[in-house]
A and B are shown apart, each in its own frame.
Chain A
Amino acid sequence: MMNRIFKICAYGLASVLMLTSCTKEFLNEPQPTDSVTDVVVFSSREGAEALISGMMRVTRGQFEATDTGGLNSLFFARDVKGNDLIQASSWFRFDYAHDNREPFYRRVRFTWEFPYFMINQANTLINGVNASDLAQEDKDYLLAQGHALRAYYYFQLVMEFQHTYSYDPSLPAPPIYTELSLEGKPMTTVQEMYDLILSDLNTAKAMASDYRLDKSYVNINVINGMLANVHLVMENWAEAEAAANAAYEGFVLNADGYDDGFSDMANPEWIWAMPQTLDQSNYYWGAPHSFTDFNTLSYMATHVNRDFVNLFSDSDVRNIFVEGAVGGNEDNWFYYTTNKFVFAFDSDHPIMRTPEFMLVEAEAKARQGKEAEAHDLLFMVQSDRDPNAVRSANTGEDLIEEILVERRKELYAEIGVEWFDAKRLRRGITRTGNHRVSVDLAPDDKRFFLKVPQSEIDANDSIDDSVNANR
């Protein structure tokens, strides 16, 4: 009996000891299988490229809700604030009513958090690549994209959270981060923001080439496009002209593709885009397509102002408006819709197209008194779109006005062009025609920018409630 006990005790003890020695291995065995470490990301060009690919994917992602999904939502909220589109009582309706800027609102939260999310990713990329052992050539290629994307999102922030640059560059602007921080930073000024944006874009430009993986990535054209718009806002006309011209180098106008539904980035006009496939889709969050297309199941909520429709001649390829898709007569706000965008889960979204930068170049030239060259460029776009187009004879403000109208006709519902111009030129927005909600914005109206979100104020020791006083 005792013998057996000893045997079993010895066995038990031995097994306990054995098990204990296994403990370390036993506990180290589990490792994640759905993620990778920074070692993997920054040890090769492909690894760092994967981080850029991830960022490009998030660009059209599903960040918070249908009206706050990605860069396209940010643009579309600007679009519906103008005079050209009419939004039904659906998503974006509060943007349409100019009633969506309070610190608790989703629009405000998203417009703040989404760019900062991308900026943090860009900072990780820039700092990770700088600290890596990659070849200089690879570093340049990667850093150009990192700096450009960081600048691009700071540019969106400064546009959305303060008056325009020409109003007063000393006004408070959102905080700046160039590396990972666990502490909130204080507000900066509009001037500091633009200094960083220009510095980043110029750095990027010096490193970039025309090479890229595909049209959804940033190359020298895209960086020039970004620069063109930044200089436009800063009213550096000569720089805007040069950058705009460089932006569309290698791209052509393509009237034939205008009525293809704006859903394929292979269009030779497109410079920068958000591609989608059935397995990489933002589904119904894909404004403008999911709101303007009345032929496919989606929200069917965005209509076109009668006065805007009337700007298009019959022979204009862009005159693809539909009358009475949901009935009514021309006085009804819902009477006109557009076939510009075809909605599908794999519809690509444009971000930069050739005509935008031709018209930027035209405006910049006109501003510098080079009106004949401006006429050439304007007519290049107009005649491509409309075989019956007549070369403009306008001069001075009339010419500028014609270019701005052409920008709206060309780019409506894509990138918030009407809002962008009204804001940077401090013109205000007056609603005419058959609007559902008629609210006008005076020049420099505070409703051109948003309040700082409460979530930031609550968590940031360097920003308090006073930031929204008088905002």
Chain B
Amino acid sequence: MRLKLTSLLTLLSAFVMQFAFAQEMTISGVITDGMDMPLPGANVMIKGTTTGTQTDFDGNYTLTAAVGDVLVFSYIGQKTEERTVGSQSVINVQLVEDAQALEEVVVVAYGAQKKESIVGSVAQIGSETIEQQQVTTVTQAIQGSVPGVNILTAGGVPGTNPTIRIRGISSINASADPLIIVDGAPYNGNLNSISQDQIKSISVLKDASSTALYGSRGANGVILITTKGGRKNMAPELNLTTISGISNNAVDFHKTIGSEDFMKYAWEGLRNGYIAGGDDATTAAAAASANLISELGYNPYGVNQPVDVNGNIIDGASLIWDTDWKDALLRDYGSRTEHGLNVSGGSENTTYFASVNYLNQQGNVKTTRFERVTSRLRVDTDVNDWLKIGANLGFTTSNQNIPEQEGSSFNNAVQWFYSVPNIYPLYRRDANGELIYDGSGNLIYDYGNNSQPVNGNRPIFSGENGAGALYNYDFKFARYNTDLAGYAQIKFTDYLKFKTNLSYQAYLFDSYSYIDDEYGYAANVKGRVSQQRNLTTTMNAIQTLNFNKSFGLHNLNADLIYEAYQFKLDALSAQGVGFLPNVGALDGSTTPESVGGSVTRETLNSILGRVAYNYNDKYYVEGSYRRDGSSRFAEDVRFGDFFSVGGSWVLSREDFLMDVDFISFLKLKASYGELGNNRGIGYFPYLNVFETGWNQLGNTGVIQGGIADPNLTWEKTASLNYGVEYGLFNGRLSGSFEVYDKESVDLIFGKPLPPSTGNTSILTNIGALRNYGIEFSVNGTMIDTADFTWSAGLNFSMDNNEITELTQDFLIQGTKRWEVGRSLYDFYLQEWAGVDPEDGAPMWYKDILDPATGEPTGERETTKLYGEATRYYQDKLSLPDIIGGFNTGLSYKNWDMNALFNFSFGAYVYDATYQSLMGGFSTIADQAHADIADRWQQPGDVTDVPRLEANYQDLNASSTRFLFANDYVRLRSLNIGYTLNQELTETIGLSNVRFYFQGDNLFTWQSHDGIDPEQDLNGVTDSRSYQLRTMSVGINAKF
């Protein structure tokens, strides 16, 4: 009613005005949307000029124009309309929603496409998903959000980059990592150099069609990271985020025993050892009591023979110390602080984005720290109507202090508290157990190699102290990353563009280690400093010619691209010994120990093209081709041809589905392609060479390196993908279902050679692997009102891995055996048969052999000789059956909450940490698990833990005893926020203020306790520190 009146009035006034101006006239009108609601702030421009205006709150506009002018009416999300000024002075326009404009644009290989037009398999997560997590390396944000991507963050060192596997594992020896592209260029720095608030989107390209343009490097999938930019005609916006929190371990550790239990069990192990050596029980018990302290080297009780002949602590003896190594080595809580500030905006022609971010995060092992400053500046500008240029500059510096917390070096903190019992003191003690002080009255870390009869020589990790190592050694990594990209785009016509793009990255990695001159493993050379400086530079140049034109209902888009890539690694290292106390620079070294340096180059030259065609946005076909030449292969075999074809059919645009109301979108798609892989095999894998550096005194020395295949060439992966994308109930429910099947052939494979040939393997193209599986995702908006919204999403994938060709019948790889038809991750182990109740000996199964043929009869029996035990397939894989994520978002008025879970089921883990803790005192001074209490003690005991016995090497021999199901569900991220009322915000001069709580890894449910469920893909633990549980509060303000 109101509208009608307004129209009438304007019509009337226009009629009156007509008399006043013949040429120039005032035009007015109302702009409304498809629902007849007025659109405030819509643009009205006179075409070809800068004259224009905006509608008021009721959608009204007025402007002066001449007859014949063309008015352009536009509003975000609506189709732009044009009207020519004629005689009428009132022009009311109804803008209709532009479905395509609203639709998501997805970053794809060498460009961007509308989501609808993609024929391959691409998933994109935007900044809104990333912002709800706190990730130190941005790729962690993919976990649980994209089906078919397996992300493993092993260990709790802040700044550690996760292992990423897209759609299974398609290589054995070569790299199975996806290619990472940042703003169009391959990224050779450390990914932890990019802070999360600089990321606009992350695209995961999974199938051949989407990755084919990366040809030789696309077989493992591609991750495209796009940094933020500004928007045109946008008022400058200042965005400030600060978040601070604390973290501890995401899961609990294995339970170990205290000193008293340790002494008793060690006595028992020793006694049983003597019995096994032929002593009778009484003699053995007496000998164990007499020798216990000398075997252990230390006496935490300070009294002679603290354990009596019955294995009890003698009366009156009390512990002088009971070292809690975890407490000495780990933080109760580490802190995490991050501040981010960015400014973005844009004029009519130029947009900009500038950002700085500071992060300081501590790990759970004491002194572990990661500190980073990142900055980025991006400017894009339209120079004129045919030239557009832009530049993107990023600079990051980071410092990391990482004491060892993975692997088997003595000073690995995690290994330390799982290996060294509480009976060994943190600080030096004299033979009576009294603390010793240095000249300044300070306590001295006990390195377990003191010249005194008792409390002098620690049999385990002698010469080291796990806690002392944290403070007496330094392991620092400094990184400086500069990336610079510039482009110029020339628009010849509306349909033909040329773009030249040059990126340069310089990444300096400086690793520095200092080993103390007085304590620890370099004390006898008066300390050691090792320093390594690697400068990695990457140049990438891309020239693109793009043709994009519609012929009626036929739409054609074609690219022709030329790319040159150059990589250079310039490494320099030096090491010296002989330092004065507190001198830690190489200048202070008296004897240089070693110097090294090399320059490694790699080049890749490629020509590529893509043609995409669609008819009426309904039928899509796309083909890509790339030819790569790589310096990693010999001249004759270095070129590879890669291609893909794909198509899709948007059924929902067909007449027969137009009337089906509940289907808003339905698309079928399929693609096939063949891609390559040349990464992770070294830079000159085809050359038979002699390695330098094996000098003998003053004489140059070389050693024949591994044997190589001169014709080594690309691995190839053929990849097939089918999928359905759907949107139901007006888009309230949407998702996809995809099936993939990839076969990788000519694997670059280290074919094992018998060690007697003097070589253990030869790298050659042989063997094949198949990865296949399904991916499913569904996202729904259950409630969507002004005050209350609730949405949720679920995604999962089921991935299978199968060896389809091998050079030999089978191949043993640690705890796995590879054979055709099996997975790379199929455990093949001795099978645990329990403990013999008669003598407490461990038992395993072995095949009964036919005496005539020597072949297994199919029957089996138990054996106490580990060497005789047969290895069997367990039909248990270290790969999960199903992985995925679940997320839900709620908002009510000013409150919002987002939760993201990720889960994994069906995988098994070989817990080598637990294994070493169950050594049963075979090595007398090794720490033990609390489960050792269940040991066999006397005939008739039915238990799963064998007797304790010194020097019984097989007590905890590798078997299925240490293989555990490793299912888990983790609350990866929980974000709860409150946004201040707009009026309140504006009174303090801000445009938006949000307070929030952010929790990471708050909760983990796991089927096997004691380890972090995220371990290596091969499912074997390696004394790693645990992932962090972080709780933070933050504030985000926009000006």
State how many angstroms separate the Cβ of A29 from the closest Cβ of chain B.
6
Q: Is B602 an interface residue (CB 8 A)?
A: yes
B459 touches A294 (CB 8 A): no
B755 touches A455 (CB 8 A): yes
Q: Is B592 an interface residue (CB 8 A)?
A: yes
Q: Is A386 an interface residue (CB 8 A)?
A: no
A459 touches B923 (CB 8 A): no
State the CA gap A64–B853 with chains docked (Å): 38
Residues in B with CB closer than 8 Å to A298 are 463, 524
B599 touches A120 (CB 8 A): no
Given the interface pairs A53-B700, A120-B758, the reply to whether A328 lies near B631 with Cβ below 8 Å is no
B758 touches A119 (CB 8 A): yes
Q: Is A15 an interface residue (CB 8 A)?
A: yes
B699 touches A53 (CB 8 A): yes
Q: Is B939 an interface residue (CB 8 A)?
A: no
B697 touches A216 (CB 8 A): yes
State the CA gap A180–B278 with chains docked (Å): 49
State the CA gap A328–B293 with chains docked (Å): 11
State the CA gap A83–B591 with chains docked (Å): 40
A89 touches B758 (CB 8 A): no
A36 touches B277 (CB 8 A): no
Quick one: closest B residue to A41, CB to CB? B690
* Residue from A28, A55, A278, A438 within 8 A of B525 (CB atoms): A278
Q: Is A300 an interface residue (CB 8 A)?
A: yes
Chain A interface residue count: which class?
A: 35 or more
State the CA gap A444–B606 with chains docked (Å): 67
State how many angstroms separate the Cβ of A343 from the closest Cβ of chain B.
8
State how many angstroms separate the Cβ of B468 from the closest Cβ of chain A.
13
Give chain A interface residues in 433-468, CB to chain B under 8 Å.
437-439, 451, 453-456, 458-461, 463, 466
A345 touches B704 (CB 8 A): no
A458 touches B811 (CB 8 A): yes
B462 touches A99 (CB 8 A): no
Given the interface pairs A278-B593, A458-B812, the reply to whether A116 lies near B689 with Cβ below 8 Å is no
Residues in A with CB closer than 8 Å to B867 are 102-104, 451
Given the interface pairs A53-B695, A275-B696, the reply to whether A27 lies near B701 with Cβ below 8 Å is no
Residues in A with CB closer than 8 Å to B498 are 8, 12
State how many angstroms separate the Cβ of A362 from the closest Cβ of chain B.
33
Q: Is B654 an interface residue (CB 8 A)?
A: no
Give chain B interface residues in 627-684, CB to chain A under 8 Å.
629-631, 635, 638, 683-684
* Residue from A37, A112, A325, A334 within 8 A of B451 (CB atoms): A325
Q: Is A405 an interface residue (CB 8 A)?
A: no
Residues in B with CB closer than 8 Å to A299 are 462-463
* Residue from B452, B689, B953 within 8 A of A99 (CB atoms): B953
Quick one: closest B residue to A181, CB to CB? B757
Interface string of B592-612 (1 = CB under 8 A from A): 111000111111110100000
* Residue from A57, A89, A332, A456 within 8 A of B756 (CB atoms): A456
A280 touches B691 (CB 8 A): no
State the CA gap A89–B577 with chains docked (Å): 30
Interface string of A107-150 (1 = CB under 8 A from B): 00100110011111101100000000000000000000000000
State how many angstroms separate the Cβ of B481 from the closest Cβ of chain A.
23
Q: Is A396 an interface residue (CB 8 A)?
A: no
Residues in B with CB closer than 8 Å to A119 are 758
Q: Is A397 an interface residue (CB 8 A)?
A: no
* Residue from A30, A112, A213 within 8 A of B603 (CB atoms): A30
Residues in B with CB closer than 8 Å to A27 are 603-605, 629-631, 635, 638
List the one stretch of A90-98, A199-207, A313-321, A369-377 in contact with chain B. A90-98
Give chain A interface residues in 308-335, CB to chain B under 8 Å.
324-328, 332-334
Give chain A interface residues in 227-264, CB to chain B under 8 Å.
none
A50 touches B699 (CB 8 A): yes
State how many angstroms separate the Cβ of B142 from the closest Cβ of chain A.
33
State the CA gap A277–B594 with chains docked (Å): 11
Chain B interface residue count: which class?
A: 35 or more
Give chain B interface residues in 485-499, CB to chain A under 8 Å.
490, 492-493, 496, 498
Q: Is B349 an interface residue (CB 8 A)?
A: no
Residues in A with CB closer than 8 Å to B812 are 454-455, 458
Quick one: closest B residue to A32, CB to CB? B684
Q: Is B703 an interface residue (CB 8 A)?
A: yes
Q: Is A88 an interface residue (CB 8 A)?
A: yes
State the CA gap A328–B456 with chains docked (Å): 12
* Residue from B603, B696, B925 within 8 A of A29 (CB atoms): B603
B631 touches A121 (CB 8 A): no
B758 touches A116 (CB 8 A): yes
Q: Is A177 an interface residue (CB 8 A)?
A: yes
B277 touches A437 (CB 8 A): yes
B603 touches A26 (CB 8 A): yes
Residues in B with CB closer than 8 Å to A112 are 755-756
State the CA gap A219–B84 with chains docked (Å): 103
A51 touches B459 (CB 8 A): no
State the CA gap A271–B594 with chains docked (Å): 28
Give chain A interface residues in 13-51, CB to chain B under 8 Å.
15-16, 19-20, 23, 26-38, 40-41, 46, 49-51
Given the interface pairs A57-B696, A456-B756, the reply to whether A5 lies near B690 with Cβ below 8 Å is no
B294 touches A113 (CB 8 A): no
Q: Is B275 an interface residue (CB 8 A)?
A: no
Residues in B with CB closer than 8 Å to A325 are 451
Q: Is A304 an interface residue (CB 8 A)?
A: no
Residues in B with CB closer than 8 Å to A28 are 631, 635
Given the interface pairs A50-B699, A120-B758, A456-B754, the reply to whether A278 lies near B577 with Cβ below 8 Å is yes
State how many angstroms separate the Cβ of B112 from the closest Cβ of chain A.
22
State the CA gap A29–B629 with chains docked (Å): 13
Q: Is A58 an interface residue (CB 8 A)?
A: yes
- Which residue, of B562, B756, B762, has the highest number of chain A Cβ atoms within 10 A? B756
Interface string of A153-186 (1 = CB under 8 A from B): 0000000000000000000001101001111110
Given the interface pairs A89-B925, A300-B457, A451-B867, the reply to whether A38 lies near B703 with Cβ below 8 Å is no
* Residue from B492, B687, B702 within 8 A of A50 (CB atoms): B702
Q: Is A195 an interface residue (CB 8 A)?
A: no
Given the interface pairs A50-B699, A56-B696, the reply to whether A93 lies near B951 with Cβ below 8 Å is yes
State the CA gap A51–B687 with chains docked (Å): 17
Q: Is A297 an interface residue (CB 8 A)?
A: yes
Q: Is A368 an interface residue (CB 8 A)?
A: no
State the CA gap A93–B457 with chains docked (Å): 16
Interface string of B614-631 (1 = CB under 8 A from A): 000000000000000111
B524 touches A345 (CB 8 A): yes
Residues in A with CB closer than 8 Å to B459 are 88-90, 301
State the CA gap A157–B429 with chains docked (Å): 47
Given the interface pairs A34-B693, A326-B456, the reply to whether A466 lies near B754 with Cβ below 8 Å is no
Q: Is B980 an interface residue (CB 8 A)?
A: no
Residues in B with CB closer than 8 Å to A456 are 754-756
Residues in A with CB closer than 8 Å to B604 are 27
Q: Is B759 an interface residue (CB 8 A)?
A: yes
Q: Is B543 an interface residue (CB 8 A)?
A: yes
Q: Is B707 an interface residue (CB 8 A)?
A: yes
B277 touches A438 (CB 8 A): yes
A8 touches B697 (CB 8 A): no
State the CA gap A289–B704 with chains docked (Å): 29
A89 touches B603 (CB 8 A): no
Between A and B, 11 residue pairs with Cβ closer than 8 Å are: A35-B684, A38-B688, A38-B690, A54-B696, A103-B867, A177-B756, A184-B757, A284-B521, A294-B451, A453-B755, A466-B854
Chain A interface (Cβ < 8 Å from any Cβ of B): 4-5, 8, 12, 15-16, 19-20, 23, 26-38, 40-41, 46, 49-51, 53-58, 88-90, 93-94, 97, 99-100, 102-104, 109, 112-113, 116-121, 123-124, 174-175, 177, 180-185, 213-214, 216, 275, 277-280, 284, 294, 296-301, 324-328, 332-334, 343-345, 437-439, 451, 453-456, 458-461, 463, 466
Excluding A36-B690, A58-B703, A456-B754, 6 further A-B contacts by CB distance (< 8 Å) are A29-B601, A30-B631, A103-B867, A326-B457, A332-B291, A451-B867
Q: Would you list the 6 A-B pairs with minimal beta carbon distance, nearest first? A: A327-B453, A120-B758, A184-B754, A53-B701, A30-B601, A460-B754
